[in-house]
């Protein structure tokens, strides 16, 4: 069943077409990679879906309902969560209150005290429970990435867009993040992973969508996409393809 459907989605900024007539579907419960070179339109596409910026043309449907005119807060209430490439926690608040704020925003009937209690098991999941009372401004990049994910989980999402969640992390931290993403998927949360690390994409995604200059140039299984001449030419490069061949 398709959870999210894009139909001829486009966005122009003056004379620049950032997203150009993109049509695709995201199945419920899947982990989908969204890849492409810098400036390909990946984050802009997520911004269109989540209501951060309006479409120039096209349609977006979530669980069959049109959402291409919604605001970001409405998207969050529907269960559409996202992280940001440049993490921006509430720096003057501690870790638990950052997550509690997301709980208060998305769950009716919570008080500040009950929101903090609800935030604690989420911090446990992402490995931040020992830092609950620490100021968000004092966290390392890896910890801020975990906090960003915790805030997304806190709205009890149906789908999460993870924008460069592994950028700047070491190998062990990337492995931990990948395991958590797979765990969320097993719980029924649909994941769209904007990612430059092809090792991550190939290991955890069931499907990959490729953008180039705002256009969708490939959409299929990781193996099929990695062998697609247009993708190799535009993004992966011949060295990547040669590196995957046995021998």
- Across-strand partners of 13? 16
List CB contacts of 13: < 8 A, sequence separation 6 or more: none
CATH class name, domain 1-79+160-170+197-247: alpha beta
Residue 212 has a pLDDT of 92
| E runs forming strands in 100-245 | 159-163, 190-194, 207-212, 215-220
Pairing of strands 16-27, 65-66: unpaired
- Pairing type for strands 2-13 and 16-27 reads antiparallel
What pLDDT shows up at residue 229? 84
Cβ-count burial 13-23 (b if 16+ within 10 Å, e if not): eeeebbbbebe
Instruction: Say what the pLDDT of residue 247 is.
Output: 40
Instruction: Match 């801020």 to its residue by tokens.
Output: 144
What was the pLDDT predicted at 246? Answer: 47
To which H or E segment does residue 101 belong? helix 95-106
Give me the pLDDT at residue 230, please: 78
DSSP, collapsed to helix, strand or coil, labels residue 88 as coil
Provide the pLDDT for residue 75.
93
Contacts of 214 (CB under 8 A, 6+ apart): 17, 18, 19, 20, 22, 40, 41, 44
* Cα–Cα distance measured from residue 153 to residue 168, given in angstroms and rounded to the nearest whole number: 21
Query: How far apart are the C-alpha atoms of 221 and 211, rounded to whole Å?
Result: 15
pLDDT score for 142 = 87
pLDDT recorded at residue 245: 54
Q: Round to whole Å and give the CA distance between 204 and 58.
A: 30
> What residue spans define the domains of the chain?
1-79+160-170+197-247
Low-confidence ranges of the chain (pLDDT < 70): 1, 234, 236-247
Kindly tell me the burial class for residue 243, based on how many C-beta atoms sit within 10 Å of its own C-beta (0-12, 13-18, 19 or more).
Answer: exposed
Length of the chain as a residue count: 247
């Amino acid at each position: 069943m398709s959870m999210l459907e894009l139909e001829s989605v486009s966005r122009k900024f003056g004379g620049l077409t950032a997203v150009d007539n993109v049509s695709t579907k995201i199945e419920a419960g899947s982990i989908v990679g969204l890849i492409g070179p810098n400036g390909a339109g990946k984050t802009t596409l997520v911004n269109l879906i989540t209501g951060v910026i309006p479409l120039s043309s096209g349609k977006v449907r979530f669980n069959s309902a049109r959402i291409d005119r919604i605001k970001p807060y409405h998207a969050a209430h529907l269960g559409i969560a996202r992280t940001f490439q440049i993490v921006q926690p509430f720096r003057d608040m501690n870790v638990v209150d950052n997550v509690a704020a997301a709980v208060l925003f998305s769950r009716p009937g919570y008080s500040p005290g009950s929101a903090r209690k609800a935030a604690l098991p989420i911090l446990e999941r992402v490995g931040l429970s020992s830092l609950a009372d620490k100021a968000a401004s004092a966290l390392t990049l890896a910890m801020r990435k975990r906090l960003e994910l915790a805030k997304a989980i806190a709205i009890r999402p149906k789908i999460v867009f993870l924008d460069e969640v592994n950028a700047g992390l070491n190998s062990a931290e990337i492995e931990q993040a990948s395991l958590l993403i797979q765990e969320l998927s097993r719980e029924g949360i649909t994941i769209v992973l904007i990612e430059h690390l092809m090792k991550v994409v190939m290991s955890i995604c069931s499907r990959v969508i490729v953008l180039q200059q705002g256009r969708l140039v490939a959409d299929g299984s990781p193996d099929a996409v990695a062998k697609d001449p247009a993708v190799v030419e535009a993004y992966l490069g011949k060295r990547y393809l040669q590196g995957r061949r046995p021998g």
